[in-house]
Amino acid sequence: MITHIVLFKLKDRSPENIERTAQVLRDMEGKIEELLFIEVGIDVVHSERSYDIALTTRFESLEALQAYQVHPVHQKVIEHMSRVRESSISVDYEN
């Protein structure tokens, strides 16, 4: 099993924009066969070091993660996130 976590800091950090962007991520659920689990969390602390949104996803294998990366639904999400994010970081690990 592979867990893929991405943290996003948005350009517009208004609650409305953060929720709208979180929904774009949530909308992947059920649309990508390789995506076994998805959770989207919105930061509640709002410190200087906080990121706005956390995306946690799980896949059967590295090959499934790679298929997700190029899936058309995910590609549309990447386009959106490229426009709205200030920065992002990620980690991928086996569990």
Q: How far is the C-alpha of 20 from the C-alpha of 76, rounded, in Å?
A: 15
pTM for this prediction: 0.95
Q: How far is the C-alpha of 9 from the C-alpha of 95, rounded, in Å?
A: 26
| Alpha helices for 1-95 (secondary structure H) | 15-26, 62-70, 72-84
Host domain of residue 90: 2-94
Overall domain count for the chain:
1
CATH number at residue 59: 3.30.70.100
Per-residue pLDDT of the chain (95 residues), as tens digits, is 999 999 999 999 999 999 999 999 999 999 999 999 999 999 999 999 999 999 999 999 999 999 999 999 999 999 999 999 999 999 999 99
